[in-house]
Amino acid sequence: MRADHAAHIRDHRADLLFVGEELAALVETIERDDDVLIENVAVDPSFQKRGYGRKMVTYAEQLARAAGLTTVRLYTNQRFEENLHLYASLGYEIEREEALNGGVLIHMVKAVV
């Protein structure tokens, strides 16, 4: 599968977290009619385990509130148990599961007010 990075840059919002001059993390979001979808959260391996992933998810929730939206959605692979635990600890609940390419995609949702 190939990602269309030009389309992502054009159509999605990407917010970056720098530590000093180094890019530590990012969150890619899509504002939709009735929610914000977190398309991607990434933390550079040398900056993991410092709470930056949590910080980026929280930032996406702030974006939703600022846009007058009350729902944030995201998805992750069922195999990424650490992600599932993180999102659950942040108040995300499983909305549905989707079979995809021999795996299972877990769709999660959180109401933000």
The domain limits of the chain are 5-111
Q: What is the DSSP string of 42-92?
A: EE-GGGTTSSHHHHHHHHHHHHHHHTT--EEEEEEETT-HHHHHHHHHTT-
**Whether residue 37 has pLDDT greater than 90:** yes
For 5-111, CATH number out of 3.40.50.720, 3.40.630.30, 3.30.1950.10, 3.40.920.10 equals 3.40.630.30
Residue 1, pLDDT score: 47
The residues with which 37 forms a beta bridge, in sequence order, are: 30, 73
Tokens of 64: 């939703």
Helix (H, G, I), strand (E, B) or coil at 11: helix
Please tell me what DSSP assigns to residue 34. S
Backbone torsions φ then ψ of 112, nearest 5 degrees:
-120, 130
Residue 2, pLDDT score: 62
Amino acid at 11: D
pLDDT tens per residue, range 45-96 = 999 999 999 999 999 999 999 999 999 999 999 999 999 999 999 999 999 9
Residue 5, pLDDT score: 65
Backbone torsions φ then ψ of 78, nearest 5 degrees:
-55, -30
**Whether residue 33 has pLDDT greater than 70:** yes
pTM of the model as a whole: 0.89
Tokens of 39: 């398309």
